[in-house]
Amino acid sequence: MSAKKEFGDFQTPLPLAREVIGLVDSLIGTPARVVEPTAGLGAFLEAAEEKWGVGSVYNGYEINTTYVRDANSRLSERGIFIGQQDFFEADWRGILSVAGSEKVLVVGNPPWVTNAELGSLGSRNLPKKTNFQRLRGFDANTGKANFDIAEWMLIRLIEALPSSGAMAMLCKTMTARKVLRHFWKTDGGRKQAGLFLIDAKRQFDVSVDACLFFLRGRHCAEQTATVYATLDTHKKLSEFGFVEGNLVSDGNSYKALRDLDGGSPYTWRSGLKHDAADIMELTPANGHYINGLNQPVTIESNYVFPLLKSSDIGNGRTIPRKFVLVTQQSTAEETEVIRDVAPKTWAYLKAHADKLDSRRSSIYRNRPRFGIFGIGAYSFAPWKVAISGLYNTFRFVVVSPEAGRPVMLDDTCYSIACGSKEEACLIADLLNSDACQRFLRSLVFPDSKRPITTDVLRRLSLVALARRLGRLEELAPYVKRSEAYRDAGETQLQLVMERGKASVAWVKE
Ligand SMILES: C[S@@+](CC[C@H](N)C(=O)[O-])C[C@H]1O[C@@H](n2cnc3c(N)ncnc32)[C@H](O)[C@@H]1O
């Protein structure tokens, strides 16, 4: 394991540290004390001392003994002292406490590494409290519990920061947002929160969106942060914030379109999940199929359906080039029936049982053999409106049946099931409208790994959108019928028609 990786070790170049200190000076003036919590070789303390000289006191902390020794031997004669300290063992409230309204500045660059990366590295460089942000169970399995070590550190530091203090830390923009959301959700905003974007590729040779994350210790009611294009307060780009319990990437656009935030009578579905593309996905070839192992496959057509992948949907391709073996109509359905209905298909599955039985995801455990996920009545709807979750564009595509068969989508696509071409075209029109596109863009952050998620799509009210676009009367009859694609027991918002007119009210079932 590389120690550099384990400790998220990217030392800040001195010119960048100087630029940061210059910006901080313009924001808060000279602090009484400068604290660098993971100081490394001390670039920030060095740049701070250059700027503020004897006007301030300079303390650093760092886990790596070699760095501590090197930095002290180079910087101690300038009044800069770095102590050997594990961040997770330190009493940050004690360290950052000040007399009266003295200004303490926390500045630096915490490690760039996630707990999952550390887990896979077998590292113990983690907070002792493992149930961070109370994420466990399903979230922990799906990666929502994957957090940057910096996220944990920044939260601890902000909690300990006196109200007269300020913090300026380099981190991923996603980390800064998560930290702000944590405070907006819990104990309120912080004054002057801002993300000053930096070019991480140029500075650290890492391809990630990063920033200088600045805020003051003082609490405030505002739940917004400003994004700046560079380390310059004149280069304001946008403002994001927390509105009604949700993070929005562009507060102004969101407010203008807020009526669209309301949930939908249609359910957004992820596509089919099988985790065995080599076996389950087939390419047609002269009356038979070829699987991903390049083997010819001759099976009955009962369980074979046309397939559009995320790359097709993302590029607007709607003619399927592949097929997929759909072994169930619902996740609970027993698969042994295939043996009698389609013996060649069963023989094919059995021939590849080693691969199918050893699929790693725990979701397949204690489920019918050769089973799949993301399957239900909605998968067999003749028409769909789909979007790829892997692309950064909100392009919604009408998916039509192919040779009388419903077309399946892969698990990185999201779709709405429709009963007819007219319904699918209407919904696609609504979704591709300028108002809808602006609304969705106001919610998502383009640097997220997966900007488009069902959480985002679910927030859009197709009814409010249709009303805004003057098409509610067209949509209303379809909404009622969309219930056909609901699984038993699923609850959802319903459209309630008022007598004689297509105005709407919502009730929970
Ligand atoms: C991204 S580097 C930045 C170093 C320095 N702040 C700078 O800007 O040049 C992160 C630093 O955090 C240190 N570090 C990692 N885990 C730590 C821990 N648990 N406690 C204290 N320092 C730690 C690493 O050794 C490394 O020097």
For 128-160, how does the pLDDT look when each residue is reduced to its tens digit (9 = 90+)? 654 444 444 434 344 445 567 899 999 999 999
Does the CB atom of residue 204 touch ligand 1 within 6 A?
no
pLDDT per position as a tens digit, 352-401: 999 999 888 888 888 899 999 999 999 999 999 999 998 888 999 999 99
Contact 339, 346 (CB under 8 A): yes
Give DSSP secondary structure letters for 400-427: --BTTBPPEEBTTEEEEEESSHHHHHHH
The ligand 1 atom at the shortest distance from the C-alpha of residue 36 is 6
Q: Are 307 and 410 in contact (CB under 8 A)?
A: yes
C-alpha 273: how far from chain center: 20
Q: Is 203 in the pocket of ligand 1 (CB under 6 A)?
A: no
> What class has domain 3-248?
alpha beta
Query: Out of 92-96, 103-107, 287-291, 482-486, which region has the weakest mean confidence (pLDDT)?
Result: 482-486
Quote the DSSP letter at residue 273. Answer: B
pLDDT digits (tens, 9 = 90+) for 219-267: 999 899 999 999 999 999 889 999 878 889 998 889 899 999 988 788 9
Round to whole Å and give the CA distance between 442 and 444: 6
pLDDT digits (tens, 9 = 90+) for 39-88: 999 999 999 999 999 999 999 999 999 999 999 999 999 999 999 999 99
**How far apart are the C-alpha atoms of 475 and 265, rounded to whole Å?**
11
Among the ranges given (118-127, 337-346, 424-433), the one the predictor scored with the smallest mean pLDDT = 118-127
Both tokens of 252, joined, read 């102004």
**pLDDT tens, residue by residue, 423-457:** 999 999 999 999 999 999 999 887 777 788 888 89
Whether 300 shows a pLDDT value over 90: the answer reads yes
From 14-23, 46-55, 448-457, 467-476, the region with the lowest mean pLDDT: 448-457
The fraction of the chain above a pLDDT of 90, given in percent, is 70
- Nearest-Å Rg of the Cα atoms of the chain is 27
Residue 187 is encoded by which pair of tokens? 């104990």
Q: Is the pLDDT of residue 461 over 50?
A: yes
Q: Report pLDDT for 132.
A: 46
pTM: 0.73
- How is the chain split into domains, by residue range? 3-248, 269-508
SS (H, E, C) 428-458: HHHHCCHHHHHHHHHHCCCCCCCCCCHHHHH
What gap in Å lies between CA 79 and CA 49, rounded to an integer?
A: 8
Question: Cα-flanking dihedrals φ and ψ of residue 103, to 5°?
Answer: -95, 120
User: Taking 50 as the threshold, does the pLDDT of residue 496 lie above it?
Assistant: no
Mean pLDDT of all residues belonging to the chain: 88
**Is any ligand 1 atom within 6 A of the Cβ of residue 226?**
no
CB-based contacts of 137: which residues, under 8 Å, 6+ apart? none
Paired strand residues for 290: 283, 296
Spatial distance between the Cα atoms of 205 and 342, rounded to a whole number of angstroms: 55
Is pLDDT above 50 for 271? yes
Is 495 a residue whose pLDDT tops 50?
no
Q: Is the pLDDT of residue 508 over 70?
A: no
Distance CA 300, CA 190 (A): 63
Ligand 1 centroid–CA 9 distance in Å is: 6
44 CB within 6 A, ligand 1? yes
Residue 215 scores a pLDDT above 90: yes
The answer, yes or no, to whether any atom of ligand 1 lies below 6 A from the CB of 63, is yes
* Sequence letter at residue 28: I
Neighbours of 277 (CB within 10 A): 13
Pocket test of ligand 1: the residue of 7, 67, 74 to mutate, having most ligand atoms within 8 Å of its CB, is 7
